[in-house]
Amino acid sequence: MKYSRFNILLDKGTYFLAYNTLSKAMVRIKKEDFSIENSLLIDKGFVTAEDEDLKLYKYFYLSRLFDNKNISVSIATTMACNLRCPYCFEEGNKSNEMMSEDVAEAIVKYLVAKRKHEINVTWFGGEPLMNFKVIEKISNSLKEHNVTFSASIITNGTLLTDDMIRKLTHFSINSIQITLDGEQEQHNAKRFFANGKGTYLHILENVDNLLRLSDIRVVLKVNLDKDNILSYEKLCKEIKKRYWDYIDKKRVIISHNFVRNRNNFKGCENCLSEEEYFDRFYDNNKAINYISNIAAPCPLRSRSDFAIGPDGNIYKCLEFLGNKKKTVGNILSYDINIKNQACYALDFIPFDDNKCCNCEILPLCGGGCPIDRESAIKQHQQVHCSVLKKRIRQIIEDFLNSSNIK
């Protein structure tokens, strides 16, 4: 027997506060009782047989990697977009191609065959509403075949019309995510039409109509960088003032993310690091949220998650859309390259990395983004560790304080 590699010990003088990131167990124990022979520690996962803890997490991870009970498919109706956001990670893969009826029919055929699964559809692009007729065709066809599915849309929000909104309510769409890039001036400097005109007021007017004409939940997601992070709270106040009643009813949700430098775009020097972003929004009163979930594989590795481009090409990650070198098959031919899919699932996996295997927070981070792992390893650079590695002990302390656990 040995101590688990996933133990976190907080030294409290005469005793330890011990937390295990895999079992989620926490104990307060005298130092002299912290022994590999202690039955409580064995029962709670603090003491395990050789490599048993790693095998347990590996089993959890791989079982979800190959799980196909649910189907999650992102459908890019087009890679074209009516905006010119400088940081768009798809910039080099954009085209004006629109999804054809043949591709749409092939998607319907596939999803009808998978009707016994739980099906989740995300409409994506480019700007998906530029090819609204495909959303309409696929949604109506699935309804005609009595296929039960849920759907969401990720859109820039500029093309929503009253007629579109009324139709969307019948397409099993439960949420629409629309991006804001800060207050009006900041937003308009980053999310603008091809003619340079800003989109802030236009988007909010469409959100007004969306809330008035439908019951669909609206997620306003704010992309943050060093230019707009300091004014985020002010933006939230503006949104809450405009939509206070809908926010209270959870019809409008405000969320945020940070802009990542995926393509060395102009202005990428203003991107936030993961650590800067974490420190800005870390809430010590909600510390449990940072340690409560075990990390599962991301869509790139997962068997049941994929994206379909307008030409029918199938991808394992949204960041690959339009890059035909990254395809794993095509929906028109129902051909899947198992070799490519296996490589995405298992190459650069954290269990092949001794540093990751012996890291106390592996069950919390899952080894991080596979794309970032691959890039670092191929460039002979150190794999970037999650900010949780630096913050884990403080998070546990904050959880204890907020829970009044003595």
Q: How far is CA 307 from CA 74, 128, 315, in A?
A: 4, 13, 5
Nearest to 238 by CA among 213, 270, 203, 209: 203
CA distance 375 to 300: 15
Give the CA count within 13 Å in the CB-facing half-sphere of 154.
16
What gap in Å lies between CA 63 and CA 210, rounded to an integer? Answer: 40
The answer to whether 31 and 47 have CB atoms below 8 angstroms apart is: no
What is each CA distance from 371 to 66, 278, 341, 384, in whole angstroms?
19, 21, 14, 11
C-beta of residue 122 within 8 angstroms of C-beta of residue 92 = no
Q: How far apart are CA 140 and CA 26, in angstroms?
A: 50
**C-alpha–C-alpha distance, residues 274 and 110, integer Å:** 38
Question: Which tokens in the block code for residue 353?
Answer: 């990395």
Inter-residue contact 94 to 125 (CB < 8 Å): no
CB 77 within 8 A of CB 123: yes
Q: Count Cβ atoms below 10 Å from residue 249 Cβ, excluding itself.
A: 11
- In this prediction, residue 373 carries a pLDDT of 94
Distance CA 353, CA 370 (A): 13
d(CA 24, CA 44): 9
Q: How far is CA 233 from the centre of its chain?
A: 23
Residue 223: what residue type? N
The alpha-helical segments, DSSP class H, found in 72-229 are 101-113, 132-144, 162-168, 184-190, 200-213
Question: 146 burial class (0-12, 13-18, 19+ CB within 10 angstroms)?
Answer: exposed
Q: What pLDDT is recorded for position 395?
A: 96
Q: Are 16 and 9 in contact (CB under 8 A)?
A: yes
- Three-class secondary structure of residue 16 per DSSP: strand
State the amino acid at position 282 in one-letter form: Y
Cα 335 versus chain centre, distance: 27
Nearest to 374 by CA among 394, 350, 355, 390: 350
Angle at 177 (CA atoms; ends 156, 120), nearest 5 degrees:
120
Partners of residue 315 on adjacent β-strands: 307
Residue 121 phi, psi dihedral angles, 5° rounding: -115, 135
| pLDDT score of 92 | 54
| Residue 334 confidence (pLDDT) | 85
Instruction: Please report, in tens digits, the pLDDT of each residue of the chain (406 residues total).
Output: 999 999 999 999 999 999 999 999 999 999 999 999 999 999 999 999 999 999 999 999 999 999 988 999 999 999 999 998 877 755 555 678 999 999 999 999 999 999 999 999 999 999 999 999 999 999 999 999 999 999 999 999 999 999 999 999 899 999 999 999 999 999 999 999 989 999 999 999 999 999 999 999 999 999 999 999 999 999 999 999 999 999 999 999 999 999 887 767 677 888 999 999 999 999 999 999 999 899 999 999 999 999 999 999 999 999 999 999 999 999 999 888 999 999 999 999 999 999 999 999 999 999 999 999 999 999 999 888 999 999 999 999 999 888 765 5
The pLDDT of residue 94 = 61
149-155 vs 252-258, strand pairing mode: unpaired
